[in-house]
Amino acid sequence: MTATTVGELRTLIIAAAPDAAQATAVSGCPTDVPLDTVMPFSSLIALGVIVAVEDRFDIVVTRPALQTAFDGGATLEKLAVMIEQLRGGGA
């Protein structure tokens, strides 16, 4: 997982949020903290993020990849690993 991918995720999450103010906590949270504990409506925001991730990284987010990333709570770390794996970069 690269810091660059995490940084881009932070930006995408804030941009995808219906209310950016509610998502700003993601800008400084630890990468291994479940996003549900960081911001309200993280599950809804995640749907917008998936579309943004597909667009930004030119990947298709598969159901198995998404299930793995959300298992036990989605974190920036898990999402970054998912992106890198879907791009063919491994874990």
45 Cα distance to chain centroid: 9
Is residue 10 included in any domain, yes or no?
yes
Is residue 49 included in any domain, yes or no?
yes
**According to the model, what pLDDT value does residue 90 have?**
58
**According to the model, what pLDDT value does residue 74 have?**
85
More confident residue, 79 or 49: 79
**According to the model, what pLDDT value does residue 13 have?**
86
Is residue 91 included in any domain, yes or no?
no
**Domain carrying residue 10:** 3-86
- Residue 8 half-sphere exposure toward CB, CA atoms < 13 A: 17
Q: How many structural domains are present in the chain? A: 1
The DSSP output letter for 37 is G
Kindly report, residue by residue over 17-76, the tens digit of the pLDDT: 878 888 889 999 999 999 888 887 666 667 777 888 888 889 999 989 988 988 888 889
Is residue 67 included in any domain, yes or no?
yes
